[in-house]
Amino acid sequence: MSNFKKHHKLHSKLLISITLCITLTLLVSTTVYYFYYIRVEKEQAFEANHGSLSLRSKEVINMTSIAQSLAFQMYRSSTLSKLLYYPKPNVYDVTAAMSELNNYLNSMPYIESIYVYNPKSGTFYIVSTRGQNGLFSKNELADTDIIRVLDHYQDYKPFTPIPRTYPLLSSSDSIAGAEQASIDIAAYT
């Protein structure tokens, strides 16, 4: 019997030792794998975010460059300068200038609208793929946030993207509906 007890104690100690070793090994390997997985996951998230931000940065640089080129073309246009600087341009000048603005808008599909503001007359000349089109005074605008940007234009560097939202008009063109996020680029003299 004593021999059986000795073997039983030995087997019990051996079983407990093996169980503890396996448990400890599983705990250590799980911890190591967990921290390795977290590190790899963070690296992959960083890589994805970095790639996305790099692409967005290139898009913003490209958009700013194109907007700058477009603004310089518009400032050099004698037709559009009448909208900017004449207090009351005649109807023929306005028609020709609005046609030119439409040509700019149609030639660049990622531009949704072009606003030209004449401070002498308080008139906005707007061409847009959606929303208001035509001549509007400040109190006729559906896009009231543009007035805030205009009133504080000195706070923005020229050709720096300005994120904002503006209301979309319904099909009846008189009731404001959902809002559209946009990036504005201010060009001023």
Q: What is residue 152's predicted lDDT score, i.e. its pLDDT?
A: 82
The pTM is what?
0.64
Grade residue 188 by pLDDT with cuts at 50, 70 and 90: low
Q: Please list the helix, strand and coil fractions of the chain in percent, rounded to the nearest 5, in that order.
A: 60, 20, 20
Cα separation, 184 vs 4, in Å, equals 88
Lowest average pLDDT, out of 32-41, 44-53, 173-182, goes to 173-182
Can you give the pLDDT at residue 1? Answer: 52
Q: Return the sign of the alpha-carbon dihedral for residues 151, 155, 160, 166.
A: negative
Angle, alpha carbons 98-103-106 (nearest 5°): 120
The per-residue pLDDT for 173 is: 46
Q: Quote the pLDDT of residue 143.
A: 78
Indicate if the pLDDT at residue 2 is higher than 50.
yes
How do residues 58-112 score in pLDDT, each as one tens digit? 887 887 788 788 888 888 888 888 888 888 888 999 999 999 989 888 887 777 8
pLDDT of the residue at 168: 67
Q: Which two tokens stand for residue 22?
A: 């396996």
Q: Pick the closest to residue 149 from 167, 138, 164, 160 (CA basis).
A: 164
Number of helices and strands (H, E) in the chain?
Answer: 4, 5
Query: How confident is the model over 113-123, as pLDDT tens digits?
Result: 888 888 888 88
pLDDT for the residue numbered 29: 92
Give percent of the chain above pLDDT 70.
Answer: 84
Instruction: Look at residue 31 in the predicted model and tell me its pLDDT.
Output: 92
Return the CA Rg of the chain. Answer: 33
